[in-house]
A = this chain, B = another copy of it.
Amino acid sequence: MISSTTCINSFRLARHYATSTAVKYTAFGTPNQVLKVVQENVNDNVNGDEVLVDMLHAPINPVDFNLAQGTYAFQPQLPAIAGSEGVGKVVKVGSNVTGLKPNDFVIPVISSKVAGTWRTKAVFSEKQLFKAPADIPAEALATVSINPTTAYRLLNDFEKLKAGDVIIQNAANSMVGVSVIQIAKARGIKTINVVRNTGDIDDVVDHLKKLGGDIVVTEDYVRTQAFQRLVADLPRPKLALNAVGGSSATELARNVADNGTLVTYGGMSREPVTIPTSHLIFRNVNVRGFWLNNWFETHSAAERQAMFDDIFDLIRNKHLKVWVEKHKFSEFSSAFARSQESGKFRKVVLDLQL
């Protein structure tokens, strides 16, 4: 009986299932403890609108920590496969799939659910996949759907910016921050970039200036008269981008132009956004928030396409560079540890087929 059962299972596996290596969590907690590398079966016999994908590359983003901790704005259904963005290649498509074929590059774009990109094979529905061009390097495709898209929307959706306008942002050396600098530069928009005064501050300033940042200053410097002299000849920033909160956000509010907008898209300091009343009433500063998930949920496929087309063009024209360091998926633990080190300019990307 035992051998017979084994035989039947083997037969089914051979016909319908492929093995996928995945990083999975079955409970929320400290990411180092709850994230486990597991082997699991993936249905190889796709039906309907299903698409079987070999995942190629996937970055480790800060949001992946919060999701595993259970502290993000939504909690994934458990058990969950980790990883919120990445790129894959289509292996097989179901009979109802019309827009994708084998060997197409695809990016999972799934709002309010975790894509689960840290795995070697996955089955998605066609509508969860965005078809990506073949002429963009896979590591750029893997890292394009969260940070450059956020930067793109921040620059597009709140103020009508034209060449010569100025924006100010904190967390300027974050992955969104460096995308903002580059996209703004490509449009002739000047950037005032605020960074934390960490040990490697000279390297950070140098890096951001090379990317096209017009002014790069520390959080402390923004509070000084010297900073006001430095920016005295520039138009006041129409747009301020905040990923920090606390006093850093307050300084952005002080510096944004009358009738300008302060957009919060992150809260690294874990402190609230505090705005002196006078800036709201007498200077008509608008204080807004941005969440990419919400944008994806409320915009059409055509609007997504237009955004990705623009971003792919920026990458093709070398206006937008992604800075990654690749790590073998088979060395997940060390890659994960590396992703938690501060002071990197490069995003840690898992090479899922190695």
Contact = CB atoms under 8 A, between A and B. Distances in A.
A285 B289 contact: yes
A267 B153 CA distance: 32
A290 B285 CA distance: 10
A277 B73 contact: no
Nearest to A279: B289
Contacts of A245: 277
A342 interface: no
Interface in A210-243: none
Interface string A341-352: 000000000000
A74 to B, nearest CB: 8
A277 B246 CA distance: 9
Contacts of A250: 272
B276 A272 contact: yes
A278 interface: yes
A309 to B, nearest CB: 26
B284 A287 contact: no
Contacts of A278: 73, 267
A181 to B, nearest CB: 21
A284 B158 CA distance: 13
Contacts of A291: 281-282, 284
A275 B291 CA distance: 16
Interface of A: 73, 245, 250, 264-267, 272-291, 294
Given A284-B294, A286-B286, 12 more contacts: A73-B281, A264-B281, A272-B275, A273-B274, A273-B280, A274-B274, A275-B287, A280-B288, A281-B291, A283-B289, A284-B288, A284-B289
